[in-house]
Amino acid sequence: MTVLTQGHSVTEEARNRRFGPLYSRNAKAVIGRGLMATKSSNWLVMLSGFFEPVLFLLSMGIGMGAVVGTVQGPGGQEISYAAYIAPALLAVSAMNGAVYDSTWNVFFKMNFAKLYQGMLYTSLGPLDVAMGEIFLALLRGLLYATGFTAVMGLLGLITTPWALLMIPASVLIAFGFASFGMGITSFMKTFQQMDWINFIMLPMFLFSATFYPLSVYPEYIQWMIQAMPLWHGVELLRQISAGAFTPATAIHIGYYLVMIVLGLMLTTGRLRSLFLK
Amino acid sequence: MSSEESGPVPRPFVIKAENLTKTYGDVTAVDGISFSVPAGESFGLLGPNGAGKSTTMKMIGGVAQRTSGSLTIMGLDPEQHGPEVRAHLGVVPQQDNLDEELRVRDNLLVYGRYFGLPMSYLRPKADELLEFAQLTDKAKSKVDALSGGMKRRLTIARSLINEPRILLLDEPTTGLDPQARHILWDRLFRLKEQGVTLILTTHYMDEAEQLCDRLIVVDKGRIMAEGSPASLIRNYSTREVLELRFGSERNASIGGELEGIGERLETLPDRVLIYTHDGEAALEEVSARGLRPLTSLVRRSSLEDVFLRLTGRSLVD
């Protein structure tokens, strides 16, 4: 066989780069790898991420809902308790999918599978890797969101066409968490440190006005919750689900846009310092 | 890079390093080394663990930034043109980092995609490389079902997917059994015959002797000597070595009684080495002095002896 030929022109295209050593416009190779790997593994974990919010919706929404009755929705109208918490659970689901992909998955690939080390010895730059991995996290978020919205539809919790916008909004939420998650994970060295992520996620899930309105808290706690990303996601989806938009909608979206930009900067910077020492 | 380039016409340098230095905090891993490698040469970095070999490899691949000095790979600075330089490099890292979530053949395909290569090129190329690595019947296996030697061969096959002009091999046979090593060496020879420039780190002197046209002996980040294996042995050692073992108690104290035999005497904890042109004659002289070693062995000098001479320490600790 010939290992050497003159045919290097095939790689020429990959070299038209604007970001120098950081980016070779080939995140699609990282995405392709992720899809191929998903075929062989992870299905149970993926499904559990989908079922968790569905189970919460069934138990809390239907079960608790029978006790609670109706509550006041974002537009001021009375809605069922299930319809109240469903968008919040969707936001949680988007967060969980993105965080799982961008933290545990990335942690494993970084420290044990040495996957990124191998990737960065090719024409790929750190930005290709970050964008590819984040795209995969978003794809998963999109699947969860679509599935969950379908479940909401089946349970009769969708009352306005606006509600379909919850799907792209979920992807926005996932993007915010994924871009940050990967950067934060790059600081983690041990499994114990990774547990801190759960330590932050669980209270955020429980207290971000997911199951009851923010107004039950004293004012200083309200401020704390409003500083957290999940609260903005919950409120955004809740508003969309009722088609009740206010100036706050723009603030929620803006919060995520800023989170995405800062997260991408953090992640790329970290990958660079980790792998291009 | 066909055979006509290996003629008397001086070949262009594909790697040029001048005063290459890398420090991590207070630790100087690579301390001002300079070397150049012409196209098609098989060039070795020989030294013990921690000598700075892997760090040098990382700088060549553009995945470690040098602290000072200059480095060009095919005329390009790998720090400025990382992806571009790596498009021409094949890298076999010290520890296999195969993609365990993918099957054997998919490992090759996906790796080729990282270089932006099209599937129409990659499919036949992957089959060709599986053949080359003697892994054709394992194409659909999971990576963790492969033996150590097979994984290593797959890693080498993977490194060839982009038809690199330079192949970086960091300790390619560490941890392999002798048979697996010989298979691997055979594959590397074939690549060399095809004109691939091999850059190889090793702490095995036999590997360096087998594979390298020329090598640098590095210790503590510095170059101690440079040359072909034969010329290094000629310059830094004698033709033969007489190894004597007197038992760990006596090895250290026997030195005085061996005075004057051979050209040079080296006392190690487990044995005494006498450097001489004629090992048998030296052994007779030892017997004539009434000394009775537990074991004795006459052998040719190796790079191990060169290293010992240059650093006062042995390569494998």
pLDDT digits (tens, 9 = 90+) for A96-147: 888 888 888 888 888 777 888 889 889 988 888 888 988 988 988 888 889 9
Q: Indicate if the pLDDT at residue A272 is higher than 80.
A: no
Q: Indicate if the pLDDT at residue B297 is higher than 60.
A: yes
- Mind giving me the DSSP string for B109-125? HHHHHHTT--HHHHHHH
Give dist(CA A137, CA A98) in Å, integer.
Answer: 5
The three-state DSSP-derived secondary structure of B249-269 is CCCCCHHHHHCCCCCEEEECC
Mutate to test the interface with B, among A2, A3, A39, A273 (most CBs of B within 10 A): A3
Give dist(CA A164, CA B237) in Å, integer.
Answer: 80
Give dist(CA A189, CA A199) in Å, integer.
Answer: 16
CA distances from B99 to A109, A113, A157, B143 (A): 9, 7, 43, 7
Q: Indicate if the pLDDT at residue A2 is higher than 70.
A: no
pLDDT band at residue A18 under the 50/70/90 scheme: very low
Evaluate whether A153 touches A235 at the Cβ level (below 8 Å): no
Any chain B CB within 8 A of the CB of A3? yes
Q: Indicate if the pLDDT at residue A9 is higher than 50.
A: no
CB contact under 8 A, B62 and A36: no
Of A1, A17, A33, the CB nearest to B110: A33
> Could you read off the pLDDT of B7-56 as tens digits, one per residue?
455 678 999 999 999 999 899 999 999 999 999 999 999 988 888 998 99
pTM score, whole prediction: 0.82
Mutate to test the interface with B, among A122, A124, A131, A271 (most CBs of B within 10 A): A122
Q: Indicate if the pLDDT at residue B169 is higher than 90.
A: yes
CA distances from B171 to B35, B203, B222, B315 (A): 19, 7, 19, 13
Q: Indicate if the pLDDT at residue A183 is higher than 70.
A: yes
Of B64, B102, B196, the CB nearest to A277: B64
Residue B137 pLDDT: 96
Residue A253 pLDDT: 97
Q: Dihedral of CA A185/A186/A187/A190: which sign?
A: positive
Size of interface A-B (CB pairs under 8 A): 128
Cα–chain-centroid distance for residue A115?
22
Residue of B nearest to A26 (CA): B116
B43 pairs with which residues across the strands? B199, B214
CB contact under 8 A, B86 and A33: no
Any chain B CB within 8 A of the CB of A124? yes
pLDDT band at residue A4 under the 50/70/90 scheme: very low
> Could you read off the pLDDT of B73-107 as tens digits, one per residue?
999 998 888 888 999 999 999 888 999 989 999 99
Any chain B CB within 8 A of the CB of A113? yes
Cα–chain-centroid distance for residue A204?
14
The contacts of residue A253 (CB under 8 Å, 6+ apart) are: A172, A236
- Mind giving me the DSSP string for A71-107? EE-TTS-EEEHHHHHHHHHHHHHHHHHHHIIIIIIHH
Distance to chain A for B258, nearest Cα, Å: 51
Of A15, A30, A117, the CB nearest to B84: A15
Any chain B CB within 8 A of the CB of A253? no
The candidate with the shortest Cα–Cα distance to B129, out of A119, A7, A123, A3, is: A3
Contacts of A125 in chain B (CB under 8 A): 82-83
Q: Dihedral of CA A58/A59/A61/A65: which sign?
A: positive
CA distances from A268 to A103, A196, A274 (A): 15, 22, 10
Q: Which of A32-41, A171-180, B190-199 has the lowest mean pLDDT?
A: A32-41
pLDDT band at residue B315 under the 50/70/90 scheme: low
Average pLDDT over residues B113-123: 96
Q: Which amino acid is at B185?
A: W
Residue B177 pLDDT: 84
Average pLDDT over residues A27-42: 86
- Mind giving me the DSSP string for B103-168? BHHHHHHHHHHHTT--HHHHHHHHHHHHHHTT-GGGTTSBGGGS-HHHHHHHHHHHHTTT--SEEE
Any chain B CB within 8 A of the CB of A114? yes
CB contact under 8 A, B194 and A2: yes
The candidate with the shortest Cα–Cα distance to A268, out of A16, A22, A18, A14, is: A22
The candidate with the shortest Cα–Cα distance to B147, out of B92, B102, B94, B104, is: B104
B232 vs A52, more confident: B232
- Total Cβ atoms within 10 A of residue A52: 17
Any chain B CB within 8 A of the CB of A273? no
Mutate to test the interface with B, among A5, A8, A11, A275 (most CBs of B within 10 A): A11
Contacts of B97 in chain A (CB under 8 A): 113-115, 117-118
Any chain B CB within 8 A of the CB of A216? no
Residue A276 pLDDT: 66
State the Rg of chain B over Cα: 22
Residue B174 pLDDT: 83
Distance to chain A for B1, nearest Cα, Å: 8
Q: Is A120 exposed, middle or buried (0-12, 13-18, 19+ CB in 10 A)?
A: buried
Residue B183 pLDDT: 87
Residue A42 pLDDT: 63
CB contact under 8 A, B114 and A114: no
CB contact under 8 A, B65 and A4: no
Any chain B CB within 8 A of the CB of A247? no
Mutate to test the interface with A, among B24, B113, B129, B166 (most CBs of A within 10 A): B113
CB contact under 8 A, B64 and A118: no
CATH number of B3-228: 3.40.50.300
Average pLDDT over residues A1-16: 41
Identical topology for domains B3-228 and B238-300: no
To the question of domain B238-300 being in CATH 3.40.50, the answer is no
Q: Which of A13-22, A58-67, B152-161 has the lowest mean pLDDT?
A: A13-22
State the DSSP H helix or E strand holding residue B283, giving kind and residue range, or none if neither.
helix B279-288
State the Rg of chain A over Cα: 21
The contacts of residue B229 (CB under 8 Å, 6+ apart) are: B208, B209, B212, B215, B303
User: How high is the mean pLDDT of chain A?
Assistant: 85
For chain B, give every domain's residue range: 3-228, 238-300
Average pLDDT over residues A170-192: 90
pLDDT band at residue A238 under the 50/70/90 scheme: very high
User: How high is the mean pLDDT of chain B?
Assistant: 89
pLDDT band at residue A41 under the 50/70/90 scheme: low
Q: Indicate if the pLDDT at residue A14 is higher than 70.
A: no
In chain B, % of residues over pLDDT 90: 62
Q: Indicate if the pLDDT at residue B126 is higher than 90.
A: yes
Residue B270 pLDDT: 86
CB contact under 8 A, A26 and B62: no
Residue A221 pLDDT: 92
Distance to chain A for B48, nearest Cα, Å: 23
